[in-house]
Amino acid sequence: MFRLGWFLGNGFGMQPWYGNWAGRAMTDWTQPGLYVDLTTSLERAGFDLLFIEDTSMVEDTFGESMETTLKYGLMAPKNDPIPLVPLLTAATEHIGVVATMSTIQYPPFLAARSMVTLDHLTQGRVGINVVTSVTHRVAQNFGYDKHFAHAERYAMAEEWMEVVSLLWDSWEPGALVHDQETPKYADHTKVHTIDFEGKYFSCRGPLNTIPGPQRRPVVAQAGNSTPGRELAAKQADTMLALAKSPAEMKALRQDMDTRLIKHGRKPQDLKILFMATPYLGDTDSEAQERFNRFNAAKKDPDNIEKRLWYLSYVSGGVVDYAKYDLDSPVPQEVGNGETTTAKAWLEGSKELTLRDLAEGPSNYGMEFIGSADTMAGEMAEVMEEAGGDGFLMYPDVTRRSIMEVCDGLAPALRKRGVIRDGYAHKTFRDNLLDF
Ligand SMILES: Cc1cc2nc3c(=O)[nH]c(=O)nc-3n(C[C@H](O)[C@H](O)[C@H](O)COP(=O)(O)O)c2cc1C
């Protein structure tokens, strides 16, 4: 069996808001409706988690202007995902909800406290996606002149997670006495300061709230660079990964197993979810036709502009792709942002023009094309071959795609016995680590 997660890749922001199937997304994206529908559907389908991306900026690297960003609504506008979490868990009973927090946006105490508060409110169904942020514009919204270099960002993140973890453990098990006669609420000898003095953060502690049902909310990590892998190996329960083949999936799993053991953990302590985009149809040929249409649309000037905008984003706001002629060679600079994504997107592009690259394959994990039954068979085969833990599904978010995945694909996977048919445990972590 393997797990399923859903990647809400534009966070609590605008989902497809024009074109077929956009519904009322343009005006209603600020409301919880679509996300509640999504989460209840994912639970019906047996997903382990909904994963909510987040970023805090209005980009202007591309063309040195906010024009493209705001014309299409690219990664902005976007609401804060944290207040959305309890609305999603109030409508469901089992599924986990992972919200993103950046180590340059939240002081560790605030993050630790906010996550434990959510752990209480969700009754043990929250997770945190720890990211280091991608572009200068984010850093500049939080008091920095520019974003930190990649290596330093991860050094900060390691320290940040250390502080957050110490705070989560600052109340020993058994600290709560709950004696109304004495009266004695808590035993002060079991609640400890952490007295942390690091290079980037200092914090006295203890946390000023009691541990939640999970004690330590589920920790997710998405960067696939070497320092990203190290952070995941030390701290994460789940990691999001980009791989294009079972061989790449296997290689990443083996690499992470070595790192986990080095840090005194077991391979089964970390579940790796691989990004997968589904193109479904009632029949295989209908799905293929849909995929062909999607590919042909990549030649539209709008789509070329959007793709180049994303390249500028993943470079960390370092490369302005608007500066180059579309028929000139692809600049090979990886930049300072999402380096794994940038490398995947630039792979094999030395001989290509920018236009070829923009019109080419998405290179964001795996693509599956077919009817629900065919796709279920292929997904099961890939997992079997790779020995992986699960997929993080990444379709566009419309009510049509939600229904296709949750009421078409998931039942086909369940029929094959390869995804869960219920949730055995109360908390997100216990379900995630169940098999
Ligand atoms: C699947 C996936 C999801 C991500 N989600 C976010 C996010 O929500 N917010 C964010 O600032 N960075 C996000 N990132 C980027 C990072 O997690 C990471 O901190 C950073 O950009 C460096 O990535 P690297 O280790 O691949 O170089 C994501 C990356 C991937 C691959």
Express each pLDDT in 177-223 by its tens digit.
Answer: 999 999 999 999 999 999 999 999 999 999 999 999 999 999 999 99
56 and 86 fall within a common domain: yes
Look at residue 184 and tell me if it is in a domain.
no
- Please give the structure tokens belonging to residue 308: 């180049």
Identity of the residue numbered 355: R
**Measured between alpha carbons, how far is residue 136 from residues 54, 61, 314 in Å?**
15, 9, 11
Is the sign of the CA dihedral 234, 110, 427, 132 positive or negative?
negative
Look at residue 193 and tell me if it is in a domain.
no
In this model, does residue 70 exceed pLDDT 90?
Answer: yes
Identity of the residue numbered 168: W
Beta pairing, strands 49-52 & 202-203: unpaired
69 and 91 fall within a common domain: yes
Identity of the residue numbered 18: Y
Choosing from 59, 131, 225 the residue with most ligand 1 atoms within 8 A of its CB, the one to mutate for a pocket test is 131
Tell the residue nearest (CA) to atom 27 of ligand 1: 339
Q: Which domain holds residue 44?
A: 3-169+207-285+366-432
281 and 141 fall within a common domain: yes
In which residue are the tokens 């997100």 written? Answer: 428
Is the sign of the CA dihedral 87, 434, 221, 216 positive or negative?
positive
Tell the residue nearest (CA) to atom 28 of ligand 1: 222
Tell the residue nearest (CA) to atom 30 of ligand 1: 222
The average pLDDT across 275-293 equals 98
Which pLDDT score, from 0 to 100, does residue 361 have? Answer: 87
- What is the number of structural domains in the chain? 2
The number of the ligand 1 atom at minimal distance from the alpha carbon of 52 is: 8
- In short, whether 337's Cβ falls inside 6 Å of ligand 1 is yes
Question: Contact at 8 Å (CB) between 69 and 114?
Answer: no
In this model, does residue 152 exceed pLDDT 90?
Answer: yes
- In short, whether 339's Cβ falls inside 6 Å of ligand 1 is yes
253 and 308 fall within a common domain: no
Q: List phi, psi (to 5°) of 155.
A: -60, -40
Q: How confident is the model at residue 324 (pLDDT cuts 50, 70, 90)?
A: very high
- In short, whether 341's Cβ falls inside 6 Å of ligand 1 is yes
In this model, does residue 54 exceed pLDDT 90?
Answer: yes
In this model, does residue 135 exceed pLDDT 90?
Answer: yes
Whole-number mean pLDDT of the chain?
97
- In short, whether 315's Cβ falls inside 6 Å of ligand 1 is no
Question: Whole-prediction pTM value?
Answer: 0.97
In this model, does residue 364 exceed pLDDT 90?
Answer: no
Which of the listed residues 337, 359, 381 is the one where a domain comes to its end? 359
The number of the ligand 1 atom at minimal distance from the alpha carbon of 7 is: 1
- In short, whether 224's Cβ falls inside 6 Å of ligand 1 is yes
Question: Contact at 8 Å (CB) between 288 and 375?
Answer: no
The average pLDDT across 319-335 equals 95
- Which residues contact residue 405 at a Cβ distance below 8 angstroms, ignoring those fewer than 6 apart? 6, 45, 278, 280, 393, 395
37 and 87 fall within a common domain: yes
In which residue are the tokens 């709230």 written? Answer: 209
Which of the listed residues 336, 359, 382 is the one where a domain comes to its end? 359
The pLDDT > 70 percentage for the chain reads 100
273 and 313 fall within a common domain: no
The number of the ligand 1 atom at minimal distance from the alpha carbon of 316 is: 21
Tell me how far apart the terminal alpha carbons of the chain are, to the nearest angstrom: 8
Which pLDDT score, from 0 to 100, does residue 363 have? Answer: 83
Which pLDDT score, from 0 to 100, does residue 365 have? Answer: 93
Look at residue 186 and tell me if it is in a domain.
no
133 C-alpha to ligand 1 centroid (Å): 7
- In short, whether 228's Cβ falls inside 6 Å of ligand 1 is yes
Look at residue 314 and tell me if it is in a domain.
yes
118 and 141 fall within a common domain: yes
- In short, whether 5's Cβ falls inside 6 Å of ligand 1 is no
Which pLDDT score, from 0 to 100, does residue 362 have? Answer: 84
148 and 246 fall within a common domain: yes
Beta pairing, strands 96-102 & 218-221: unpaired
**Minimum mean pLDDT range among 48-57, 266-275, 278-287, 362-371:** 362-371
